[in-house]
A = this chain, B = another copy of it.
């Protein structure tokens, strides 16, 4: 297909007429499809159903009673091995790693962090936010009035020179949100060099923390194309900087999104400090569910096999999205998109100034996408071009329909923009 950018206004108006007709046809179908969140689909949830059949009586402790603040030994070992850390460097918690992150920020604000001399909230607090990123990270900052500074994210990770410059000169910068593997939404994995440099940051704020949300640690889409992420805690140790990072992960997209287990990994200093605070918040996590996970997931090798089942279900959905984008938009010079090796999202960029219109057009024709701008701090995508596509939840036939409509909306919004720009 030839670029829209080289077409005359007359040609563009002709195309637009045809697109409006297609759009009308879609509207008449009364679609009601939701592609707004990275939710696993029913078939994915089904592959963990044997977990609910686990007999808990083989455990050496009474899982039903109080206690075990940092989780049961078996699960600590398993997660330590997944995250390549030691057993005494992890805390296993309830069903939500988001809670672990939220609570870590909240505690730091009120109580400070290990080695920090006062609570964060005693002064101005800023966070660096590689963007596009995860809206729920940004919501935590917004709730607590933490100022967010967007950081450009490239193929190999965030702009590390910029990060370095900022953290070395501003002691109100207390943290950075990172999704280092199969990043939400760009799908990129941080390069070894970026990880090494992150581990060697020397922030002016001695109580600075890297929030390393390793949500997609084993979430490959293709067995033959697995991204490899460098072990940041190991790198930190080499640099005598091991207290700078909190690592988070969960089984939300391994077993059940609503009934998984979560993990925080960090230096033993951090873990001891957090465990003390945690013991005031709870008498312990749901150990029965932890044990179920251990018995069902068994080992890192078995988890790999389990994740292949997920990939088998969702890879065709990613392929379908990419296929339709290729067919419909390639060569038009109005959009680009990612083709990730893992994770839950495809990141889509239209011409500047079109994302909001695209999302609105789709919604009005019955397809709900993630809100335009949601992937940026304060929902403010300054170029109004990024849209997060979440292909996992809908059945593939619905996904196909939704993506076809999506492409019509993209073309329409972009043509309108081009025409408008020519007129002005």
Contacts and interface: CB of A to CB of B under 8 A. Distances in A.
Interface of A: 37, 39-40, 42, 45, 48, 52, 56, 62-68, 94-96, 98-99, 102-103, 106-107, 109-111, 121, 136, 139-140, 143-144, 252, 256-259, 277, 280-289
Given A62-B42, A96-B282, A281-B103, A143 B111 contact: yes
Contact of A65 (B94, B96, B256, B277): B256
Given A52-B56, A56-B52, A280-B140, A64 B287 contact: no
A259 B289 contact: yes
Contacts of A45: 62, 64-65
A258 B59 CA distance: 14
Contacts of A52: 56, 288
B94 A66 contact: no
Nearest to A101: B281
A290 to B, nearest CB: 10
Given A42-B62, A258-B66, A286 B286 contact: yes
Please name the 10 residue pairs, one residue from A and one from B, whose CB atoms are nearest each other, closest first.
A64-B256, A102-B281, A45-B64, A96-B282, A66-B257, A259-B288, A259-B286, A95-B286, A143-B280, A99-B282
A219 to B, nearest CB: 16
B143 A288 contact: no
Contacts of A259: 63-64, 286-289
B68 A286 contact: no
